[in-house]
Homo-oligomer: A and B are copies of this chain.
Amino acid sequence: MEIINFGEHLMLDGYFGNEEKLNNKEIVLKSLGELCEKLGMRQLTKPEVYFAPGNDIKDPGGWSGFVVIEESHISIHTFPKKGFVSADVYTCRNGMDTKLVENYLRNTFELKEAEVQFTKRGTKYPVENIY
């Protein structure tokens, strides 16, 4: 059976961002749409952003946004009081412009530091339908 890898997944965790930008629902919403557009991804849903009230453990609250794209997704979770953002860009195409994604998120939230992890997903995805 011929196999390929299904997709690519970038995870960015960013630090010391701008509190106001991280706390701006419209910026989170706009980022989800713009990332889709810049990566040439087709949206299956409109981006949605929810307020997360926080918990008593280590989360002071923030915004959680999500958009479903061609059978994969982009998500952004912000934590304004921590200056922190955690984003995922998972696409079913190969050859993601990872620098574009990193720079976009760094600029949008004025991050001073970022950890980027990048991994292949579904490395044994069948080329032909099996059913």
A residues contacting B by CB (< 8 A) are 4, 6-7, 9, 11, 13, 15-16, 19, 42, 44-45, 50, 52, 54-55, 57-62, 64, 66, 68, 70-73, 75, 77, 79-84, 86, 88, 90, 92-93, 113, 115, 117, 119, 121-127, 129-131
Contact = CB atoms under 8 A, between A and B. Distances in A.
User: How many of these chains are in the complex?
Assistant: 2
B11 A83 contact: no
Contact of A129 (B11, B60, B123): B60
A130 B83 contact: yes
15 contacts: A4-B58, A7-B86, A9-B11, A16-B130, A19-B131, A44-B50, A45-B50, A52-B68, A72-B77, A73-B75, A81-B131, A82-B126, A83-B130, A86-B122, A119-B119
Q: Which of A84, A86, A88 has the most CB of B within 10 A?
A: A86
Contact of A71 (B59, B117, B122, B127): B59
